[in-house]
Amino acid sequence: MGILEKLRLDGKAALVTGGARGIGKSVAIALAEAGADAALVDTDIAEAEKAAEEISRLNTGVRIIAVKADVTDEAQVDTMTGEVLSAFGRLDIAFCNAGVCVNTPAEEMTLEQWKKVIDVNLTGVFLTARAAGRVMIARGGGSIINTASMSGHIVNYPQPQCAYNASKAAVIQLTKSLAVEWASKNVRVNSISPGYIGTDLVLNAPHLAPLIEKWESVTPVRRMGRPDELQAISVYLAGDSSAFTTGADFVIDGAFTCV
């Protein structure tokens, strides 16, 4: 079997949290193009349904569904997982991607703001990975991919975002912990740590324009990344070609963390 065949995901099923837009939507497209059925999970069900219809029009031959769920709610995550299983009959890939960021100085940050970031970025990843892991352990294997961030390795500047940075560092360690716990059960857990990615929400936010200029000026490649530049690593980690890869964090940041 050649390398391109090994990268195929035919017959597999995936869920993608935060799948309605941005990185989640882009990765869902890649998984579908590689042959996997995919569930786009999001709190914004209207946008998720719109994205699902758009991906379906690519005529990849796979099934794409939209599922509403708040990843911070244990019951909703369990129900969502059940809906995916009901739709596809299996779950092989979980891309735990939903996340939020609050740019507030630490001395001004409220406990509510702190908890919101930690609840979505860390607890949401844990709840989704746990639910998927239970299914995968019972089935004999699977792949979980968590969206961490270069912010789990460095402190971003000039924007103040201590809660986000802390949550993403924790996601990386959670990934490693789950990878070790589930290695003998054939469930692989890895993370990707993107640098600054030019999603539509970022590029179309007027208040971020000065920050984007700053970010690009200190990134060695002098630009932000694109969501589609995270597709190849996600497909690799999702499939059997990465069978020996678990507990790893892949930094994709245009060399930002190198300087």
Q: What is the mean pLDDT of residues 154-160?
A: 94
Q: Is pLDDT above 80 for 1? A: no
Q: Which of 68, 151, 164, 236 is catalytic?
A: 164
Q: What is the mean pLDDT of residues 245-249?
A: 98
pTM exceeds 0.85 for this model: yes
Catalytic site residue 168? yes
Residue 4 has a pLDDT of 85
Q: Which fold has domain 3-248?
A: Rossmann fold (3.40.50)
Name residues whose C-beta falls within 8 Å of residue 244's C-beta, 6 or more positions apart in sequence.
none
Q: What is the mean pLDDT of residues 1-13?
A: 90
Q: Which of 168, 191, 193, 242 is catalytic?
A: 168
Q: Is pLDDT above 90 for 122? A: yes
Residue 221 has a pLDDT of 97
Q: What is the mean pLDDT of residues 234-243?
A: 97
- Report how far residue 168's alpha carbon sits from residue 101's, in angstroms, rounded to the nearest whole number: 10
- Report how far residue 181's alpha carbon sits from residue 222's, in angstroms, rounded to the nearest whole number: 39
Q: What is the mean pLDDT of residues 45-66?
A: 97
Q: What is the mean pLDDT of residues 13-20?
A: 98
Residue 5 has a pLDDT of 85
Catalytic site residue 164? yes
Tokens of 208: 């971020």
Q: Which of 143, 149, 191, 242 is catalytic?
A: 149
- Report how far residue 196's alpha carbon sits from residue 169's, in angstroms, rounded to the nearest whole number: 16
Digit-coded pLDDT (tens) for 125-153: 999 999 999 999 999 999 999 999 999 99
Q: Is pLDDT above 80 for 13? A: yes
Question: What rounded mean pLDDT belongs to the chain?
Answer: 97
Q: How many CB atoms lie within 10 A of CB 72?
A: 19
- Report how far residue 20's alpha carbon sits from residue 15's, in angstroms, rounded to the nearest whole number: 12
Q: What is the mean pLDDT of residues 17-30?
A: 98
Q: What is the mean pLDDT of residues 34-60?
A: 97
Would you kindly state where each structural domain of the chain is located, as residue ranges?
3-248
Measuring CA to CA, which residue among 103, 83, 84, 102 is closest to residue 93?
84
Digit-coded pLDDT (tens) for 81-108: 999 999 999 999 999 999 999 999 999 9
Q: Is pLDDT above 80 for 34? A: yes
Digit-coded pLDDT (tens) for 161-217: 999 999 999 999 999 999 999 999 999 999 999 999 999 989 998 889 999 999 999
DSSP the chain: --HHHHT--TT-EEEEETTTSHHHHHHHHHHHHTT-EEEEEES-HHHHHHHHHHHHTT--SS-EEEEE--TT-HHHHHHHHHHHHHHHS---EEEE---------TTT--HHHHHHHHIIIIIHHHHHHHHHHHHHHHHT-EEEEEE--GGGTS--SSS--HHHHHHHHHHHHHHHHHHHHHGGGTEEEEEEEE-SB--HHHHT-GGGHHHHHHHHHHSTTSS-B-GGGGHHHHHHHHSGGGTT--S-EEEESTTGGG-
Tokens of 40: 């786009």
Residue 207 has a pLDDT of 87
